[in-house]
Structure 1
Amino acid sequence: MSFVSRARSSVFAATFVAVSASVALAGTSGTAFQMAVAESTISNTAIAEFYRKNAFDPVWVGSTPEHEARRAALIKALSTIDMHGLPRARYDVSALIAKMQDARTTRDLGLIEAELSQIFAKYANDIQSGVTSPSQIDAGLVRDVERRSTQEHLKRLVAGDGDEYFREIMPQSRQYRALMKQKIALETLIEQGGWGETVPVTKLERGDTGANVIKLRNRLVAMGYLKPTASPNYDDVLLAAVQAFQTAHGLEPDGVAGNGTITEINRPVSDRLKAVYVALERERWLPEERGERHILVNQADFSAKIVDDGQVTFETRAVIGKNTHDRRSPEFSDEMEHMVINPSWYVPRSIITKEYLPKLQANPNAVGHIQITDRGGRQVNRGAVDFTQFTARNFPFSMRQPPSRSNALGLVKFMFPNKHNIYLHDTPQKSLFAREVRAFSHGCIRLAQPFEFAYALLAKQEEDPKSFFHRVLNTGKETKVNLENPVPVHLIYRTAYVGPKGEVQYRRDVYDRDRKIWEALQKAGVALPDVQG
C-alpha cells in the first residue's frame, strides 16, 4: 500500500473509531443505521436485498481491522483506476473522503455504508467487465459480456480480506498485464515529447540518401527500431529497421518505406495509446475462462491461432468479412463442436436474393455450379421455372453447392453453431492470403492452412490425425467429425496486443470499430494525458 493510501487509511480509522459504538447497533431492527441504509439503497434493489439478507451488518464502516482493510482497499482502488485506462472522474474520491471524515452519527454511518457499497459495485463492474456496453457501440459487437451480480461482488468481498478481492476482480490474463505496461510506457513517451519529427509521405528505399532518409532514421531510432546513428543513407541497417517496424504493424515486410508504411510511422503516440486503452476495454469484455485450449481469431490481424495453456501452438493467415455493413465479421465467443470434411455449401438467403436471383432472372442457367432445391430438398429443373416472377421476399427455393475442390467452403469447415451463421473454413481462393489487408468474405473466416488446422484439432483424439483426415477426405462424401472435447472459440478484434515474446503489435482499424469504442470511452470519462506527436 502506498504512503498516501496508508495515510488515508489512518484518517478513516480515526474517524470511524469515534463513532464505532453506533455500529454495534446496526443490526438492531429500526436503528438509524438500518433506516439510512434502506433509504439510500431504495433505488438499487440488489444492494438493498444484500443488506436485508445480512441483517444490515456493515461491510465498510465497522471499527474492526477487516472493515478498515476494506475501506483502505476501496480508496486505493478508486485512486488508481486510471492505471487501467478507466475514468477516475466516475468516482469522486475527494468528496467520498470528506463525507467519511465528517461522519458523526449512526445515521451518517448508514448513509456512508450504502454509498460505499454502491461505489464498490460500480467499480467492480467497470474493472472486471468494462465501462462500456459492446452492443450499444457497433452492430458487429455481439459479444455477451459476463458480469457478476452486485450481490455476488459483495459476498465475495466480505468472504475475502483486504486487497484480496480487489486483486481478484481485475482481469488476470497476461495480455491485460502486458497492455497495462505498454500504457504506462506510452504515457511516459507523451510526457517526454513523443517520437519527434514526422517523415514526409513519399517512397524511400535502399540506396536513397538525404534529409528525408535522416528523418525516417531519427523517427525509427525514437521508436526503438534502430540504434542511434547519423548516417544519411538508406542502408541495410535502416532496411532491417523498416522491416521490423512493418512486421510489428501488420505490413508487408519488404523493407520499402512507401506511403502506407510512412503513414503508420507518422502516427502519433496518442493514436497508439488510444489503441491500448481500447484493447484493455476489449480484454475486460472477454470471458474470464478462455479455455486451456482455445481458438483465437484476431480479425484486425487477419489471423487464426490455436492456444494451448497460454502458448500459441498453431497459427495461420485468415480472411475476414468484407468491410461493408452486411459482411463484416462479428465478434463473439462460442464452442467449436465439429468439423465437416467435404462440405456442401448451403447458400445463405442473403446471398441467394442479393447476388444469385438477379443473375437467374437474366439467365436461368447462370451459376450452374449451384443446385437449386425445393422445400423438400429435391433439385429443381431450371428450365421449368420463370425466375422473373420472384422477388427477394417470395423466392421459394434454396441453393446448394455439392462437395468439390471448387466448393466455396473448400474441403473442410469448422463449426461452432451460432445464430450469426459464422464458421471457419477452407477456400479455393488461395491467392487472397497473399494480400496485406484480407477482408473479402461474406462474414465467415477463411483459413490459409485449413488441413493443418484440422490436424492440430484432431491430434487430441486421433493417433495419426493427418491419415485420419485424408482417409475421410478421399471418400469424397460429406462427413461430420465431432470433436470429443469442444474447443472455445473467441472471435476478437485487437489493433493493439502484445506478442508471446513481449513484442508490442499494432494493426489498422479496418472496420472502424476501435474509433467507436474510443468515443464511447471518452463519453464515459476516459481522457489521454497531454498529447504530443
Structure 2
Amino acid sequence: MAATVLASALVFWPVSGAMAQVTAYKQALAEASYGDEAIGAFYRQNRYQPVWTGEGELFRARRAALIEALSLAEIHGLPAARYDVDGLRAKMTAARTVRDMGLLEVEMSRVFARFAGDIQSGFLTPSKIDEGMVRVVERRGAQEYLSEMQAGDPGRYLRGLAPATSQYRALLKLKLGLEQDLARGGWGPTVPGGKLSPGDTGTRVVQLRNRLIAMGYMDRSAAASYDGTLQKAVQAFQVAHGLEPDGVAGDATLEEINRSVADRLKSVIVALERERWLPRDRGERHILVNQTDFTAKIVDHGRVTFETRSVIGMNTSDRRSPEFSDEMEHMVINPSWYVPRSIITKEYLPKLRANPNAVRHLEITDSRGRQVNRDALDFSQFSTRSFPFAMRQPPGKGNALGLVKFMFPNKYNIYLHDTPQKHLFAREVRAFSHGCIRLAQPFEFAYALLAAQEADPESFFHGVLNTGRETKVELTRHVPVHIIYRTAYVDDRGAPGYRRDVYGRDAKIWDAMSRAGVVLSAVQG
C-alpha cells in the first residue's frame, strides 16, 4: 500500500504542453537511453511517448504495479539490489522538471526490462558458471517487454512474467515453508554420527525422532526406541532424498538428515533460477532427464506417464553429462557403437600399442568405413593426433549401447541408450558413463514412444529387433528432450524431494547468486 501511494503521489509536468517542454522531454529521453539500443529504439518507435511518467490513472497504475513487483523480487529468489526499488522511489519523489521526467522515464524502463527478463528467464548465464551447463536460455528484449507492458493490464502483466509452471509455483510455496522453518530456528539439534537401526534405543534415537518430526516425516511421539513408526519415517525420508529406502539411518542417510534448513533453502532458490532457464514451451509430450535424480521420464500434458532409472556421466571433467534441451528425432534398433575419437585415443590406443589383439570386440575402420586388418598395423607408430582410423562395435547384445539408442542429434554427441551393464542400475549414485544417458528399461521406453505411431508398438519393436540389422526408426512427431539438474523439486503429489549435488553445479550457482545479492530470509509463519 505504501508503495502504491508513493507512486501515485508523484507530481508530473504535462509533457503534452508547450513545445519547449516537449522538446526538453524528448532530449532527456534520448540522452538517458544513449548507449542502450533496445530502449532507445523503443522510444524512437513510440515517438517518445511516455510509458510511466504520463498523467492519468493508467500511468499511475503502471508505476504502482512496477514498484509492487520490484518489492516482491526477493520472494522469487532474485537479488533486490539489481532493481534498487528504494532508489527508484527516491527518484520518483524528487522528480519535478520536465528533464527530470525524461530521465526518470528511461530509468524506470531500464529497471522494468531488467526485472522482466530476470523473472522470466533468470538473471544468470548458465555457461558462465559451469562448462557443463550448456543450456541456451530464451531471452527477450526490452522493446518487446515495453510494448507488451504498454498494451496490457499493468498488474496482470507483471504478475504473469514468472514461469507459469506448476513446478515453479510449488517451489515458491516450498521456499516460503523453509523460510518459516528458518525463522523458528530450524529443525533442532543434528544427530551425531554412527548407524542407527531398528531396535536401537538411547539419546541419538530420540534426536533422530525429533528431527524427523520437525521435518514433517512423522507425527509427534514420545517413543525412545527405533520402532516401526520411526523406521517408516526414515524410509519416507530416504525416498524423498534419493536414498536406498532400507529404513536404516546409516552414514549417508544421517548426512542428509543433518543438512540445515539454510542448505535446503539454497537448493530451492537455485531450483527457481533453473526453472526460469527452461524453455517456456516444454512440449505437451516431452522427455525429462534429471541428472541428480538418475531418472528419465516421459511427461504427457504435465503428468509423468513413464519413468525409468538412468545412469549419467562420471564425475570427471571430461565425462560429466551436459545440461541442454533438444528434440528426439529417431531411435536406432540394433545400433553399432561408433567409438568417439576421445575414447579411441585416450583409452584404446594405449591398449593397442601394448597389445595389438586388445579390444578385439571392436572393428578398426578406415575413412571409408572399411575394416582394417589390425595384424598388419604397427600401433606404436601412432600418436593420439596421428592415429588415422575409426573404431566400431557391431550390433549385438554385448554392444556398449545395448540394443537400442534414442537420438536427438546435438553437437555434444549425447543420447539415451540401452546398456549391457545392468548391474549399475542397482546403485544409489549412478554416475558411471562417458556422458550419455543409459536407461534401465530401454525397451519399455521405446514402446512408450512408439505408441504414438504404432498400433502394436511392442510387436513392431521386436519385429525390427529380431532381424539383428541396424535399423533407424523415425519418430513421426519429434519429442522435446530436457536434460536438467535439480537438487530440489516438488513431485506430482506435492511432496518435496532433494538430491545430492553430484557435480557440484548447484553450489557454483548459489555462489553466483549470493555474489549478486540473493540472501536467505526468515519469514514468520
Letter in 1 for 2:132: G
Which residue number corresponds to residue 461 of structure 2? 469
Q: 1:528: how far off?
A: 1.3
Unmatched tracts of structure 1, length 5 or more: none
The yes-or-no answer on 1:15 pairing with 2:10 is: yes
Q: Conserved in 1, the CA contact under 8 Å of 2:175 and 2:268?
A: yes
Identity of aligned residues (%): 66
Which residue number corresponds to residue 347 of structure 1? 339
Letter in 2 for 1:342: N
Which residue number corresponds to residue 275 of structure 1? 267
Letter in 1 for 2:4: S
1:186 to 159, 178, 181: 178
The yes-or-no answer on 1:404 pairing with 2:399 is: no
> What SS does the corresponding residue of 2:447 show, helix, strand or coil?
helix
2:134 to 137, 142, 145: 142
Letter in 2 for 1:170: A
Q: Conserved in 2, the CA contact under 8 Å of 1:298 and 1:491?
A: yes
| Matches for 1:214-253 after TM superposition, within 5 Å | 214-253=206-245
The yes-or-no answer on 1:80 pairing with 2:72 is: yes
1:204 to 196, 204, 213: 196
> What SS does the corresponding residue of 2:9 show, helix, strand or coil?
helix
Q: What CA deviation, in whole Å up to 9, does each residue of 1:437-464 have, x standing for no partner?
A: 0000000000000000000000000000
The yes-or-no answer on 1:112 pairing with 2:107 is: no
Return the alpha-carbon distance in structure 1 between the equivalents of residues 501 and 129 of structure 2. 15
Return the alpha-carbon distance in structure 1 between the equivalents of residues 520 and 388 of structure 2. 55
Q: Conserved in 1, the CA contact under 8 Å of 2:333 and 2:471?
A: yes
Letter in 2 for 1:207: G
2:309 to 309, 313, 317: 317
Return the alpha-carbon distance in structure 2 between the equivalents of residues 35 and 463 of structure 1. 68
Q: What CA deviation, in whole Å up to 9, does each residue of 1:31-74 have, x standing for no partner?
A: 11100011011021110011011110100011122211111111
The alignment's C-alpha RMSD in Å is 1.3
Per mean C-alpha deviation after superposition, the further-off stretch among 251-260 and 224-233 is 224-233
> What SS does the corresponding residue of 1:469 show, helix, strand or coil?
helix
Q: 1:80: how far off?
A: 0.5
Which residue number corresponds to residue 419 of structure 1? 411
Return the alpha-carbon distance in structure 2 between the equivalents of residues 92 and 25 of structure 1. 31
> What SS does the corresponding residue of 1:320 show, helix, strand or coil?
strand
> What SS does the corresponding residue of 2:191 show, helix, strand or coil?
coil
> What SS does the corresponding residue of 1:316 show, helix, strand or coil?
strand
Q: What CA deviation, in whole Å up to 9, does each residue of 1:118-159 have, x standing for no partner?
A: 001110111111111101000100000000111111111111
Q: 1:169: how far off?
A: 1.5
Which residue number corresponds to residue 509 of structure 2? 517
Q: Conserved in 1, the CA contact under 8 Å of 2:69 and 2:159?
A: no
Q: 1:164: how far off?
A: 2.3
Distance 1:27 1:128, change over 3 A: farther
TM-score, normalised to structure 1, is 0.97
TM-score, normalised to structure 2, is 0.98
| Matches for 1:100-179 after TM superposition, within 5 Å | 100-179=92-171
Q: Conserved in 2, the CA contact under 8 Å of 1:26 and 1:56?
A: no
> What SS does the corresponding residue of 1:15 show, helix, strand or coil?
coil
Q: Conserved in 2, the CA contact under 8 Å of 1:336 and 1:414?
A: yes
Distance 1:204 1:137, change over 3 A: same
The yes-or-no answer on 1:34 pairing with 2:52 is: no
Return the alpha-carbon distance in structure 2 between the equivalents of residues 471 and 415 of structure 1. 20
Q: Conserved in 1, the CA contact under 8 Å of 2:8 and 2:63?
A: no
| Matches for 1:258-269 after TM superposition, within 5 Å | 258-269=250-261
Q: Conserved in 1, the CA contact under 8 Å of 2:298 and 2:304?
A: yes
Return the alpha-carbon distance in structure 1 between the equivalents of residues 107 and 34 of structure 2. 12
The yes-or-no answer on 1:330 pairing with 2:355 is: no
Return the alpha-carbon distance in structure 1 between the equivalents of residues 8 and 203 of structure 2. 63
Q: Conserved in 2, the CA contact under 8 Å of 1:27 and 1:57?
A: no
Distance 1:530 1:167, change over 3 A: closer
Q: Conserved in 2, the CA contact under 8 Å of 1:145 and 1:285?
A: yes
Q: 1:28: how far off?
A: 8.4
| Matches for 1:50-89 after TM superposition, within 5 Å | 50-89=42-81
2:349 to 339, 357, 368: 357
Aligned residues: 523
Letter in 2 for 1:371: E
Q: What CA deviation, in whole Å up to 9, does each residue of 1:462-492 have, x standing for no partner?
A: 0000000000000000000000000000000
Q: Conserved in 2, the CA contact under 8 Å of 1:300 and 1:507?
A: yes
Q: What CA deviation, in whole Å up to 9, does each residue of 1:219-258 have, x standing for no partner?
A: 1111111111111111111100000000000000000000
Return the alpha-carbon distance in structure 2 between the equivalents of residues 415 and 26 of structure 1. 66
Runs of 4+ with deviation above 4 angstroms: 25-30
Return the alpha-carbon distance in structure 1 between the equivalents of residues 59 and 387 of structure 2. 68
Q: What CA deviation, in whole Å up to 9, does each residue of 1:278-322 have, x standing for no partner?
A: 100000100010000000000000000000000000000000000
Letter in 1 for 2:229: V
Letter in 1 for 2:439: L
> What SS does the corresponding residue of 1:392 show, helix, strand or coil?
coil
Return the alpha-carbon distance in structure 2 between the equivalents of residues 92 and 527 of structure 1. 15
Letter in 1 for 2:461: F
Return the alpha-carbon distance in structure 1 between the equivalents of residues 116 and 20 of structure 2. 29
